[in-house]
Copies of this chain bind each other. A is one copy, B any other.
Amino acid sequence: MNFLDELKNLKEQIKIKNRFDINFDFDNIVISGMGGSGVVGNIFQEYYRGKPVITVGDYGIPDFVNEKTLFIGISYSGNTEETLDNTEEAKNKGAHVVGITSGGKLETMVDNKIIIPSGIQPRSALGSMLMPLYNTFNLVSDEQLDGIYQTLDSVDQNHDEMKNDAFKIYENSYIPIIFGSRPYKSVAYRWKTQFNENAKTFAFYNSFPELNHNDTMPLKSAYRRDEYLYYVFESDNPRVNQRIRITQEITGSQFNLIKSPSDQYFNKLFYLIHYADYLTYQLALIRNVDPTDVSTIEELKQKLA
């Protein structure tokens, strides 16, 4: 699969019906994952509010993990050092351990697991890793799936806007800053990591209303203010949209508002995700870098081994 096919594969991934059968009464959920697999837990956590969800993007799991914890290890390759360590620790603490992976050591370590198709970049498998979480908690209906599919299809058909943006970023060597808001704060982080891995550029993120307590000052008064390109996700919360409007006004900033064609959670979620897929893919092509290349990350893993 070439990288464009990988991006378009997201449409197929959302059709995954796999789910975990969880037949016990747990107190909390701990989700361990790094990078493109780690953002899965963070996206889920912002939406699922029925139990405490703690995400771990690190070595080491919290002390409270015990037999009343549902521990979910997510690693696309199945060989992520931090996630394997944490999964082992969770087993030792007696947690109910499940895993999402395409193979590797994680597959052999965990009995209750969902195996997803291998062979693409981990960051291109976001749909495959995310849907089992939604399915397990019955959060997505067939009608909603149709909606997501239509949304993704329309993005696949029409990404001139992202191409134009990518040119603008390239021509000005802009540093992208993405401002999200709940339940899409982690999607702003996903944008950042897609810029990092696909286009090999720096990108940074924050969220409303938190940034009204800090980044609002440099928006008005920092040096290099003209060297950033500000992306802001339009919110469903009128109070947050008011903050966005006033923040632009009083700091003199020009925000690029990203408006989803639909406010329905799943449509908006995947619209925002897919927008950055194409934007960062196009930026890679314009910069003449290979969007699939993560050789520096691979080199690090080898030197650590």
Contacts and interface: CB of A to CB of B under 8 A. Distances in A.
A282 to B, nearest CB: 16
Interface string A78-109: 00011000000000000000000000000000
Interface in A252-300: 289, 294, 296-297, 299-300
B63 A50 contact: yes
Interface stretch (A2-10, A11-19, A192-200): A192-200
Contacts of A218: 195-196, 200-203
Interface stretch (A136-144, A148-156, A158-166, A235-243): A235-243
A146 interface: no
A64 B50 contact: yes
Contacts of A57: 207, 210
Interface in A214-252: 214-224, 227-228, 237, 239-240, 242-243, 246-247, 249-251
Nearest to A64: B51
Contact of A38 (B51, B213, B242): B213
Nearest to A175: B224
Contact of A228 (B60, B202, B304): B202
Nearest to A204: B204
A64 B50 CA distance: 5
B289 A221 contact: yes
The size bracket of the interface on A is: 35 or more
Contacts of A213: 34-36, 38, 193, 297
A52 interface: yes
B28 A294 contact: no
Contacts of A118: none
Chain B CB within 10 A, most for which of A196, A240, A242, A243: A196
Contact of A64 (B52, B204, B300): B52
B60 A52 contact: no
A293 B172 CA distance: 31
Chain B CB within 10 A, most for which of A27, A213, A297: A213
A242 B192 CA distance: 25
Sorted from nearest, which 4 A-B pairs have the closest CB atoms?
A: A35-B213, A200-B221, A52-B52, A49-B62
